Structures are given as structure tokens and as C-alpha cells.
């Protein structure tokens, strides 16, 4: 499977995690899907992480992005702003618009999901953050692949 296809499939897996989490809060009869979904999405997150860890292409891409982000600043460099137009949460370097929106949904939805977990159960939080991890891994993969080789 090519990297672009892998990213596309994993994007939909992360989107499924968000939808399943919200659906299980709104419809308690759907809570039976939480544990199997968490295992599936969590396994996807682990596989993406291992793919990046053991791929020379991704390691080189992440190193190149790190050098580009640092610029001429001494280590550890200037901290980037949350709303930085290039490197922030909605920055142009973070991926295509659909991935930026999905990542923003996970980011801004984390607090409400954590608050609702007392009512809906901790399994909702597990699935939410497994999906968030997949979205973040996809962002790193996209960033690494967009670097010049």
C-alpha cells in the first residue's frame, strides 16, 4: 500500500473514532462498539507509529521539517504560537484542510469528552484519544512526506 493510500485509509479510521465516540454518548445503546473500536483504532495508531519509527523516509522527513522549523535559532528554538499560520494547529504545513479540521475537532473536543466520561464511561475517552493519536500521526506523516528529498 502506498503512503498516500495509507494516509487516506487511516484518516477515515480517525474520523470513525470521532463519530463513534460522539454517537455512543448520544445513543447509549451503541456503547457496545467502544471497546472493539478502541482496540482497532489503537492498533492503527501503534502501526502508524511503528511505520514512522522504522522508515528511513519518515525519519529523514521529520528531521528536515525540524531543521526547517528551527531555522537559524539555537536549540531548542523559538516556541511556535498555537495559531502560527505555518506551523500552528491550522497552519499550512499541517496537512490538507480535511486533516486540519479533523485534528481541530479532536483537539477542541478533548475537554468536553473528558467531562462527559463520568456520564458515558472512560471507554469514550480511550476511543477519542486513540483517534486523536491517529490524526496526529497522520499529520507527522504528511509533514515528513512533504519535505524535499
pLDDT tens, position by position, 3-40: 888 999 999 999 999 999 999 999 888 889 999 999 99
CA separation for the pair 42, 137 (Å, rounded):
12
3-state secondary structure of 54: coil
Q: Using N-to-C axis directions, what is the helix angle for 56-70 and 34-53, rounded to 10°?
A: 80
pLDDT exceeds 80 at position 133? yes
3-state secondary structure of 46: helix
Going from N- to C-terminal start, the domains of the chain cover 3-71+80-145
Round the average pLDDT of the chain to a whole number and report it: 88
pLDDT band at 1 (very low <50, low <70, confident <90, very high): low
Terminal C-alpha separation, the chain: 20
pTM above 0.75, yes or no: yes
pLDDT per position as a tens digit, 65-108: 888 877 777 766 677 777 777 777 777 788 889 999 999 999 99
Tell me, what DSSP letter sits at residue 23? H
Residue found under cell 463520568: 118
Amino acid at each position: 500500500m502506498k503512503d498516500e493510500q495509507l494516509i487516506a485509509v487511516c484518516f477515515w479510521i480517525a474520523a470513525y473514532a470521532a463519530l463513534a465516540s460522539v454517537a455512543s454518548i448520544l445513543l447509549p445503546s451503541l456503547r457496545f462498539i467502544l471497546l472493539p473500536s478502541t482496540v482497532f483504532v489503537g492498533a492503527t495508531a501503534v502501526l502508524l507509529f511503528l511505520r514512522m519509527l522504522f522508515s528511513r523516509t519518515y525519519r529523514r522527513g521529520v528531521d528536515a521539517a525540524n531543521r526547517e522549523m528551527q531555522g537559524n535559532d539555537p536549540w531548542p528554538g523559538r516556541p511556535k504560537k498555537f495559531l502560527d499560520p505555518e506551523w500552528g494547529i491550522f497552519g499550512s504545513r499541517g496537512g490538507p484542510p480535511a486533516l486540519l479540521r479533523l485534528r481541530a475537532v479532536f483537539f477542541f473536543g478533548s475537554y468536553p469528552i473528558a467531562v462527559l466520561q463520568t456520564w458515558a464511561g472512560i471507554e469514550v475517552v480511550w476511543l477519542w484519544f486513540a483517534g486523536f493519536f491517529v490524526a496526529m500521526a497522520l499529520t507527522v506523516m504528511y509533514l515528513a512526506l512533504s519535505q524535499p528529498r
